[in-house]
Chain A
């Protein structure tokens, strides 16, 4: 990718402290201020949105598309979001908005690449831990859609239930039910395959 013509935002250089997604002074979600700042021309503000929401987008994609494609798709989705941010009507809905873009992009991915074959971990020769992780991920992907996304966000990305609810725009009750039922199904599958 040519970077000569681009401004590179490094998430490591400008890390956002985990404030639970709320601005302490106003108790408003931080993304409201960040979205407004970006629309006013503050490109660094988009870097912060990227830091906050990249794990969410990564998790959503990981629950749907091959792992090898996820990183590139995450960047594509954020570049798309950067260009289309002016179309977002409600600044507080950045999370649900970008989550929807990610889900749509995952659907598009399968529409465009039906004939491709995912390179498995056996083909790649990765270590045992990663191979095991890939196996469990496949089991999660076999679960109903509502459960797999929530479980990936919880178990892979390390987000808590309230964080998942806040970022995706789902109600806390829905997330809790999805986690509970999804985990139950996953335990059954793991027992069947003599997993963990």
Chain B
């Protein structure tokens, strides 16, 4: 028996195989569209989450510095009312139990530091806000570009 037709459809066709092909051909695979699930892009959401975390941290830091900053003027006023005359006098007038008051130099230094921290914080907040906006814009752009590629 010649198996060439069965093997690669070459040679003389076998009538029985041809008949089987014809009958069984009705069960052949009919092409159907394959719906692939859309791959989710988590990058914009990660960016938004990171920005929110940074913003929260910055807010916490800012509130802490605000509290510290609010206490500085009262100390400064107290210092103006009771100027330090000299080291000997200040040592004699101060009781050993009272806490050490900050000198004008340290007050000035603290204030400068507070202002610098405040400026840094404001910068961090602006940066966080810009990042949030950028992430939002990117998400919007991707969504609109994907919608444009969808078939009608």
Distance A62 CA – B26 CA, assembled complex (angstroms): 12
Distance A176 CA – B19 CA, assembled complex (angstroms): 20
Most chain B CB within a 10 A radius of its CB, from A3, A152, A155, A161: A155
Inter-subunit contact A157/B29 (CB<8 Å) = yes
Asked whether A155 and B24 contact (CB < 8 A) given A8-B34, A79-B36, the answer is yes
Is A144's beta carbon under 8 Å from chain B? no
Stretch touching chain A among B1-9, B64-72, B82-90, B113-121: B1-9
Asked whether A50 and B9 contact (CB < 8 A) given A176-B3, A183-B17, the answer is no
Asked whether A156 and B24 contact (CB < 8 A) given A176-B7, A196-B16, the answer is yes
Residues of A within 8 A of B29 (CB): 54-55, 58-59, 74, 157
Q: Which of B17, B23, B31, B35 is in CB contact (< 8 Å) with A8?
A: B35
Inter-subunit contact A196/B34 (CB<8 Å) = no
> B136-152 CB contact bits vs A (8 Å, 1 = yes)?
00000000000000000
Inter-subunit contact B16/A187 (CB<8 Å) = yes
Inter-subunit contact A75/B8 (CB<8 Å) = no
Residues of B within 8 A of A62 (CB): 27
Inter-subunit contact B23/A196 (CB<8 Å) = yes
Residues of A within 8 A of B35 (CB): 1, 3, 6-9, 75
The total of chain A residues at the interface (CB under 8 A) is: 51
Is A71's beta carbon under 8 Å from chain B? yes
Distance A154 CA – B136 CA, assembled complex (angstroms): 55
- Chain B residue nearest to A59 in the complex (CB): B29
Is A129's beta carbon under 8 Å from chain B? yes
Is A86's beta carbon under 8 Å from chain B? no
Inter-subunit contact B17/A12 (CB<8 Å) = no
Q: Which of A75, A154, A156, A160 is in CB contact (< 8 Å) with B27?
A: A156
Is B130's beta carbon under 8 Å from chain A? no
Residues of B within 8 A of A179 (CB): 3, 6-7
Distance A187 CA – B37 CA, assembled complex (angstroms): 45
Inter-subunit contact A132/B33 (CB<8 Å) = no
Asked whether A75 and B21 contact (CB < 8 A) given A6-B38, A161-B7, A176-B7, the answer is no
Inter-subunit contact B37/A130 (CB<8 Å) = no
Is A5's beta carbon under 8 Å from chain B? yes
Chain B residues in contact with chain A, CB under 8 A? Answer: 3, 6-9, 16-17, 19-21, 23-29, 31-39
A-B contact pairs, 25 of them (CB 8 A): A5-B37, A5-B38, A6-B36, A6-B38, A8-B36, A9-B34, A46-B36, A47-B34, A55-B28, A58-B28, A67-B27, A82-B37, A130-B27, A133-B24, A134-B27, A136-B23, A136-B24, A137-B24, A154-B6, A156-B27, A158-B21, A160-B8, A176-B3, A179-B7, A183-B3
Known: A50-B34, A79-B37, A157-B28. 20 other contacts (CB 8 A): A6-B36, A8-B35, A8-B36, A9-B34, A9-B36, A11-B33, A46-B34, A58-B28, A75-B32, A75-B35, A78-B34, A79-B34, A129-B26, A130-B26, A130-B27, A133-B26, A136-B20, A158-B28, A179-B7, A183-B6
